[in-house]
Amino acid sequence: MRVVAIAVLSLAVATRSTAQTQKASDDLAGAWRGKVTLTSGVFATLKDLQYMYVFNAGGTMTESSNYDGVPPVPPAYGVWRRTGPRMFEAKYQWFQSKSVSTSDELIKSGGWMPDGHGSIRQIITVSADGNSFTSKITVELFDKAGKPIAGGGSGTAVGERIRFQ
């Protein structure tokens, strides 16, 4: 009887482990690092643009780039959802800070002043093993009043899941 109980328990643990592995390969939740290539818009000149993403269970997300300090801007915040097997859509926004030409201008203005915001929509396909993705990105820019302005664009991204090795 004891041997049967151990065999059943072992089978249950193995089945649960396999199910968790399969689920993880079809899930966006987690931390990711991505390389972004924008082919149009004001950010198309950035040839080494990288994003760090955190997709939270429940559908919220945070994104930060290696250019968040030029001029200083906070991370982007948004939402994501599943649209199909290994397919996801994310929409996130960030506040833009006004660029300055001189340190005197920065001091006189009292710091980095608000200058509108941006919005990104990203269509993401996760690989079969769940450790990488490819995506298409659309960027929109808005002035301080929330009206669309020129400079948005589009591009692609590739990403890798951040894992313990």
* Start-to-end Cα distance in the chain: 40
Contact 50, 36 (CB under 8 A): yes
What pLDDT was estimated at residue 163?
Answer: 94
pLDDT above 80 for 13: no
Number of domains in the chain: 1
For every residue of the chain, which 3-state class applies, written as one string? CHHHHHHHHHHHHHHHHHHHHHHHHCCCCEEEEEEEEECCCHHHHCCCCEEEEEECCCCEEEEEECCCECCECCCEEEEEEEEECCEEEEEEEEEEECCCCCHHHHHHHCCCCEEEEEEEEEEEEECCCCCEEEEEEEEEEECCCCCEEEEEEEEEEEEEECCCC
What pLDDT was estimated at residue 78?
Answer: 98
What pLDDT was estimated at residue 109?
Answer: 63
User: Which domain range does residue 94 map to?
Assistant: 2-161
Q: Give the highest mean pLDDT range of 6-15, 40-49, 64-73.
A: 40-49
* Ranges 33-37, 48-52, 55-59, 72-76: which has the least confidence: 72-76
More confident position, 109 or 127: 127
pLDDT above 50 for 12: no
pLDDT above 90 for 119: yes
Q: Residue 101: CB partners within 8 Å, gap ≥ 6?
A: none
What is the domain-level CATH number for residue 123? 2.40.160
pTM of the model: 0.79
What pLDDT was estimated at residue 108?
Answer: 73
Summary mean pLDDT of the chain: 84
Please state, in angstroms and rounded to a whole number, the distance separating the CA atoms of residues 118 and 141. 4
pLDDT above 80 for 80: yes
Give me the amino acid identity at 162.
I
* Ranges 63-77, 103-117, 137-151: which has the least confidence: 103-117
